[in-house]
Structure 1
Amino acid sequence: MNVLRPCLGLTLWLSASAAVGAAPDCAPVIEKAWVRAAPPGASTLAGYLVLRNPCAAAVEVVDVESRDFGMPMIHRTELVDGVSRMRPAGRMVVAAGASLRFEPGGLHLMLMKPLRPLAEGDSARLRLVLADGRRLYVEVPVRRSAP
Structure 2
Amino acid sequence: MNARHLFAGLLALLPASAAVAATPADCLPVVGSPWVRSAPPGAKTLAGYLVLRNPCEAPVVVVDVESLDFGMPMIHRTVEEGGVSRMREAGRLELPPGGELRFEPGGLHLMLMRPLRPLAEGDVARVRLVLEDGRRVFAEYPVRREAP
TM over 0.5: yes
- Asked if 1:116 is matched to 2:86, the reply is no
Instruction: Quote the offset at 1:6 in angstroms.
Output: 9.0
Between structure 1 and structure 2, the one with the greater Rg is 2
TM-score (norm 2): 0.84
Q: C-alpha deviations, 1:4-55, integer Å up to 9, x for none?
A: x898xxxxxxxxxxxxx8331x211000100000000000000000000010
Q: Runs ≥4 in structure 1, deviation > 4 angstroms?
A: none
- Asked if 1:146 is matched to 2:147, the reply is yes
Ranges in structure 1 where 5+ consecutive residues have no aligned partner: 8-20
Which residue does 1:75 correspond to in 2? 76
For residue 41 of structure 1, give the secondary structure of its aligned residue in structure 2: coil
| Counterparts of 1:74 and 1:141, CA distance in 2 | 18
User: Counterparts of 1:1-147 in structure 2 under 5 Å?
Assistant: 22-24=24-26, 26-147=27-148
| Counterparts of 1:6 and 1:37, CA distance in 2 | 30
Instruction: Quote the offset at 1:139 in angstroms.
Output: 1.0
Give the CA RMSD over aligned residues: 1.6
Ranges in structure 2 where 5+ consecutive residues have no aligned partner: 1-14, 18-22
| Equivalent residues of 2:63, 2:131 under 8 A apart | yes
| Counterparts of 2:91 and 2:118, CA distance in 1 | 30
Report how many residues are paired. Answer: 129
Deviates more, 1:84-93 or 1:115-124: 84-93
Structure with the largest fraction of helix: 2
AA in 2 matched with 1:54: P
| Counterparts of 1:6 and 1:104, CA distance in 2 | 28
